[in-house]
A and B are shown apart, each in its own frame.
Chain A
Amino acid sequence: MRITTDRFANAFDDIRKRALSDGCSVLILVAADCDALCAYHMVKDLLRAEYIKYKMMSVENQVDLENSKTTIKESQGQIKVVLMINCGGTVDVAQVLDLSDEEQEDLCIYVLDSHRPLNLDNVYSENIRVFDDGETNIPQPEEVADSDSEDEDEDTDSGEPGAKRTKWGDRMAARIAKQQRLRSYYEAAYYGVSSAVLVGHLVSELGRSSNAFLWCSALGLTDQYLHDKISSDMYVQQALTLQSEILKFNSEEESRRHRGVSLAVEEDAKFFLLRHWTLFDAMRHSRYLVSRIPVWTNKGEERLRHLFATMGVSLQTCKQVYKTLDTATKAHILEQLKEHGHAYGLDTITFLSFTYRTGYEPAVAASDVVYAVNGILNHTAPEEDVQRRVFKALDCLSMRKKDVFEFGVHCAKEQEMAVMNQVQFAFQDDTGPRQRWHLAMVRTESKRFFTRPAMLTKLAQFLVDVRRFNTMKAYRMRQQVVAIQNEEDDTTTYVGVWSRSRHREGAVVPNLFSSLFPAVAEECKADYALPEFDGAVVQLLKEHHGRFVLKLMREIIRITREQQQQAAAAAAAE
């Protein structure tokens, strides 16, 4: 069932009542992404204030989620509430957790997942409660359920054969329409409102809003924006709502006077970890800038220097650590960027973002924290399982451990440099112009950074952006798939990002690969796995690579042709 925003407080009350018992009765399954961790951080504080004991398990992929069912079974009925954060929304939870009917009734499962499309088995089940963000795309049960057409047969009057045939025809048409509706619902993967923002709603419903909670919501929202999960319109809308909340708790004069936490809403530049690097390095590693000015080519480097010259910023200033520049210079740089950026294709160089100040320490920007947390989560070290990474990332999120934060920043830098490295090679290696898509295989040089699918998605998004601005118009609408061959288990992981030809700045395209990958894998009769909560990731055995790639290419060509025809028809109709 769906829990609408006005009933969030009731849901929390329900959790509280069920949770009161001697033992530990709340199990929280948290996915390993920044948004989920922010949401968990807030929920944890809420539960602590009520003295409710809880157990937290990190789940990185579907396999972990399935394994959590042993924890539930082993507890032998002690666990009464399961809260799933950013996981479980897109699969049939009752099936994955292998719950019998009585278990389903005893156990109360709450799902707070920003992945879409939500699995309809969860939405229309009585025992599974899904937090609703006002999603309008979900079909009504009548639209997709099979009606009991058999029974109708007996009721209808025999009448003339003609009438009966049309009735049958109608029913067939209705059934086909329903299947079509179902198919188009599950076709593409996208993201809904951030879980951290939804928990923020819950917190303000309970009247417990404070700077700490607002900061977590801001981080969850920023994480979604920086990883292209939501469009800039949606981001701005939610950021403005957050801003009005923040202003209630942080008026100008007060925030300068006390030693506690204060938040501010400021403009931030779209440069990667600007405050932890030199201006030059930050610009050279930002997807926003690099896709528009390809700095690995000589021409690109020239343009960048030209830009600096136009702004009146000396190369020396650029290569100085940004933190050490004085405020006048920093303001000057931002101003000049906004003025002259247009000529170089840098139209919206800044965006509305959040900063965190405590005591007399310098402000920390939301985007920096998000990058640091993701850096920690994507870190590949030999014995670091997901739980340890998540705990480290939670330390970073608490804003009290500077060394963990620095470590996260360092990891993020390493990973971004690895991505840039791969992008350079992939772009130079361009396959022939006639192909409607690109398949980039991760090269062995920095392969170790890319064992986590989140990194592959980053790489794919980078490539899509780079192509959008650096190839001829006719060849821009090409789909991007990134693949990596896993040494240990002879499989290949594919990650796909779908792009559209007429792409508006800041818009996000629903990812058709989430339905395409499994469909093509089945056609190849290959054993496949959809390991991640994010739909567009598939894993196959190496031997099927050739056939899979071929069939995938054919499907992509077919779909893009269909989309082009539809677009042409729509244009003609106007």
Chain B
Amino acid sequence: MEDPLGKLMPSEVEFIAEDAPITITPNFQAGVFLFLKERVGPFKPQRPMEVPMWLAVSLRRRDKCVIHVPEWLSVDALTTKLEEEKMQQKQFVHMPAHFQEISSILFDVASQDVPNSEECRQLIQAIVDVRTAKIRQGGLDDMKDSLAIQLNNVTQMEITSIRQFACHAMDAFNRLSSV
């Protein structure tokens, strides 16, 4: 049977990312919302609370809350990560889960809430570029002789982007080596 995970699209990964919790401060009053997966609330004005990302986006679009930008989305934190990433040739630095998706959503919806959004945007792009380069050059060298590859500290989005190719490549190597 075909592996359903093999056909995961980036948009679907983003959808999964939207479940990640984020802190907001609502400016309205409401009771508890009952959703399929969780319950959120009650909403008290000027009191910070955690909600899933998708709800935060919906509220922010209607000007009903202020989003607290996660700590890793700042110029200093990102610069540090970028330096670390550049120093290591083959290893990956631990990045927060779904950092690409979360940062792109925040830039879209709440760019005023992010301090120095332009610099942060560029830093995130640089980090993504470095990691992609690492994946393409480094990690796949081991494909020739392995049955499975483990990449540490790689986010779901990055794995999805190479999963299909890597699996087919390893299959091909396997077949060729058994000949």
Chain A residues with a Cβ under 8 A of chain B: 48-50, 207-208, 210, 257-260
Contacts and interface: CB of A to CB of B under 8 A. Distances in A.
Contacts of A257: 116-119
Interface string B57-85: 00001111000000000000000000000
B contact patch SS: loop
The 4 closest A-B pairs by CB, nearest first: A49-B62, A258-B117, A257-B118, A260-B111
B111 A259 contact: yes
Contacts of B121: 259
Give the interface centre of B27, B64, B112 by most chain A CB atoms within 10 Å.
B112
A257 B118 CA distance: 6
A210 B109 CA distance: 14
B117 A259 contact: yes
Give the interface centre of A48, A207, A257 by most chain B CB atoms within 10 Å.
A257
Contact of A260 (B27, B63, B64, B112): B112
A258 B111 contact: yes
A contact patch SS: loop
Nearest to B63: A208
Interface string B116-127: 111101000000
B172 to A, nearest CB: 43
A49 B111 contact: no
A50 B28 CA distance: 12
A493 to B, nearest CB: 45
14 contacts: A48-B62, A49-B61, A49-B62, A49-B63, A49-B64, A207-B27, A208-B63, A257-B116, A257-B117, A257-B118, A257-B119, A258-B111, A258-B112, A259-B111
The size bracket of the interface on B is: 10 to 19
Give the interface centre of B62, B116, B119, B121 by most chain A CB atoms within 10 Å.
B62
Contacts of A48: 62
A485 to B, nearest CB: 52
Given A49-B61, A259-B117, 4 more contacts: A50-B62, A258-B117, A259-B111, A259-B118
Contacts of B116: 257
A48 B64 CA distance: 12
A50 B64 CA distance: 10
A245 to B, nearest CB: 15
B170 to A, nearest CB: 41
A179 B147 CA distance: 99
A258 B62 contact: no
Contacts of B118: 257-259
Contacts of B27: 207
Contacts of A210: 63
Nearest to B121: A259
A49 B62 CA distance: 5
Interface string B86-127: 000000000000000000000000011000111101000000
Nearest to A50: B62
Contacts of A260: 111-112
Nearest to A210: B63
Contacts of B112: 258, 260
Nearest to A206: B63
